[in-house]
Amino acid sequence: MSETETAACKSLAQAFYDQVFTRGDTSNIDRFMRDDYIQHNPTCADGKAGFLESIKGFLSLGPQIVIIRLNSEDDMVHVFFKCTLKNGHTSEVCDIYRLQGGQLAEHGNIIEHNVKGVQSRNSNGLF
């Protein structure tokens, strides 16, 4: 995959987060996601319909997303972010996407829940 294609994957992921997670707008989901979207998060169903069902519930929690790092290599994109819900619950999340044909094709994530107030054994911080 060329550097241009890798940069396009990163750009698509950034636009997806800006529109869906920051603005709560799922109207252009066809632009971002393949119909046969594969989901590895066990709480979400496959496909666009599964994502839309899941994101509706998530957005109702009032998430504030702060992207710490967004990396792309070949057809893979990793988005590391801080997520704070309106109830104060804070998590650190790493979403991992595989893109195909310029769209999100597959997703998995790693979530460390409720990190607010966690005392670190070092001075590096969580973010």
Coil vs helix vs strand at 94: strand
Domains of the chain: 3-112 (3.10.450.50)
pTM of the model: 0.89
Beta strands in 1-89 (DSSP E): 33-39, 64-73, 76-84
CA angle 95, 117, 66 (to 5 degrees): 35
Per residue in 24-80, pLDDT tens?
999 999 999 999 999 999 889 999 999 999 999 999 999 999 999 999 998 999 999
Q: What is the pLDDT of residue 97?
A: 97
Other CB atoms within 10 A of residue 70 CB: 16
At 99, which helix (H) or strand (E)?
Answer: strand 90-100
